[in-house]
Amino acid sequence: MSSSPPGTTAENPVRIYVGVDATQMLGAKMLEYSVKKHTNLPVVLDYMEDVTWPFPKDPKNQPSTHFSFHRYAIPERAGYRGRGIYMDADMLVLKDIREVWEAPFDGATVLHCPSARPDKYQPQFSVMLLDCASLTWKVDEIITQGLDAGKFDYDQLMKGMCIEPKEKVRASLPYYWNSLELYEPGKTGNIHYTEMKRQPWLNARNRIGHVWLKYLKDALADGWVTREEVREAQARGFARPSLLKQVDEVPPVLWRIWGETRARKIDEGFVPHSDLETRKQKVFAEGTAAAGAPGTNA
């Protein structure tokens, strides 16, 4: 039975499941800060850090992030009850999440957003409202009995949500709840910094990075994020070397020009998401060798 719009209480809070790994924890903390800043509803965020799944056998089906398949664990994690919102960690909420949480399913099981910029980006399932009471997903089975069995491929799963009937998947959430590298003042509900190597904690030259930086400055002042946490992220290569200096020492009016000049020198040699690139290259090389391609040791 489809779940109705919930009576949200402390015992029945808004449940947001965040796709995140260790490399994106700073972004995830800022997402949580921004969600709670704009709503008076009780909210619980689940970072799903203990979710595991078998790696697809075919290198062509390798995930684009370390948490790509986490979203398919949400219904089981919710006990196949109620609703759940899925969001990627690289987001910043600017409005009350209530608009997403209380959206009517009207017979659908998965609601998502149309593309905010159809000229550049395809629709994504990186913001979803899930009817967990009607979904029977098991992430292990989706990979082993779906991807590995050749029933569908990575793109059909991630871009087409092929595991649900088409009539159950609906792009009825407003586009501005997944605004891909787009900021429309007064309208945007959620900025999605989807270009991974240009995320503002990794790249000082993101065109709308100043919005995220302003929230980080506020989060530091509020004690939500500590400077020690930022320094640790920098030390581990999960945040650019110039980040803390920019928000602490540079006036916001100068952030853009500073990012184009001084930050370039400070961040010289810094490689965003280097671990992910290493993993992708390793898996591709292993898959090529297993296939017996020319020039391999197969």
Segment 282-291, tens digit of pLDDT: 554 554 444 3
Does residue 167 fall inside a structural domain?
yes
| Domain co-membership, 243 together with 118 | no
Task: Look at residue 97 and tell me whether its pLDDT is greater than 70.
Answer: yes
Residue 263 burial class via C-beta count within 10 angstroms: exposed 0-12, middle 13-18, buried 19 and up: buried
More confidently predicted of 10 and 132? 132
Q: Domain range holding 211?
A: 200-274
152, 180, 208 - which closes a domain: 180
Judged against a pLDDT cut of 60, whether residue 141 lies above it is answered with yes
146 and 62 housed in the same domain: yes
pTM of the model: 0.90
Q: Which residue has the tokens 């803390």?
A: 244
Task: Identify whether residues 91 and 122 lie together within a single domain.
Answer: yes
Q: Which has the higher per-residue pLDDT, 295 or 226?
A: 226
Instruction: Give the CATH number for residue 24.
Output: 3.90.550.10
Residue 298 lies in a domain: no
Tell whether 218 is covered by a domain.
yes
Taking only the tens place, the pLDDT of each residue in 184-193 is 999 999 999 9
Q: Under a CB-based contact definition with an 8 Å cutoff, are residues 286 and 298 in contact? A: no
Asked, for residue 287, whether it belongs to a domain, the answer is no
Total tally of structural domains belonging to the chain:
2
Q: Is the pLDDT of residue 2 over 50?
A: no
Strand ranges, E, within 24-156: 43-46, 83-88, 91-93, 110-112, 127-131
- Tell me: the pLDDT tens digits for 202-222? 999 999 999 999 999 999 999
Query: Is there a single domain that holds both residue 140 and residue 266?
Result: no
In the prediction, which pLDDT does 235 show?
96
What residues contact residue 271 under an 8 Å CB cut-off, 6+ apart? 237, 277
* Rounded CA separation 93/295 (Å): 48
